[in-house]
Amino acid sequence: MTSSATLASNPGNRETQRMYERWEWSRVGRTPGVEGETLDAFDLYVIALRSAEEASGSR
């Protein structure tokens, strides 16, 4: 089973988004903010997480 992580980013902050993309995060969409949030919408990014065995090179 593959695990993943998700983050929400300010759509107007392209510098930060380019950094996420360099780190191999993938933009998958946008979600609206809810009342009381700091922004009206957030861009969503995901990345696949490696298992401990994959990270250590064990098989």
The answer for residues whose C-beta is within 8 angstroms of residue 43's C-beta and 6 or more apart is 8, 9, 10, 11, 17, 27, 29, 30
pTM for this model (two decimals): 0.77
Q: pLDDT band at 6, cuts 50/70/90?
A: very high
Q: Quick one: pLDDT at residue 51?
A: 72
Domain chopping of the chain, boundaries: 3-50
Once rounded to an integer, what is the mean pLDDT over residues 2-25? Answer: 96
pLDDT tens, 15-53? 999 999 999 999 999 999 989 888 999 999 999 998 766
Q: Quick one: pLDDT at residue 18?
A: 97
